[in-house]
Copies of this chain bind each other. A is one copy, B any other.
Amino acid sequence: MTSQLQGRLNRQLQDAFGLSLADYDVLVRLTDTPQGRLRVYELAHDLQWEQSRLSHHLARMQRRRLVAREECTTDRRGAFIVLTRTGRRTIEEAAPAHVETVRELVFDGLPVDHVAVLDSLSAHVLSRLEESAPTP
């Protein structure tokens, strides 16, 4: 079910806005910050992505003018990723449509107690994943 659902959400975003779910997630995280700006390692942590995946993905998004880079003056190893005007416009268009699709496919007509169970279930699995995480 989840792979079907994710596939559909992906296609919807792609067809309507030229975004993948991955693009969407990156843009949403950036939008959640006051200046639309995050360090790369913060993004990596929030999204739970590998550094390398994120780095490649950001390079592609930068080519498409969805995000840009800014130097970090306090730590010169690091970089800031910032939303561009295009990036902000795109996510502001895409988000309501995406939310509506999720509502139609998942939450519409779903009993309230099912939503509560889903919430608790997610917390349960996430905590199991964390408990058993490989410690580097």
Contacts and interface: CB of A to CB of B under 8 A. Distances in A.
Contacts of A5: 125, 129
A5 B122 CA distance: 10
B105 A129 contact: yes
Interface residues of A, number: 27
Nearest to A124: B110
B132 A105 contact: yes
Interface stretch (A28-36, A64-72, A79-87, A112-120): A112-120
A97 to B, nearest CB: 14
A129 B132 CA distance: 33
Contacts of A51: none
Nearest to A4: B129
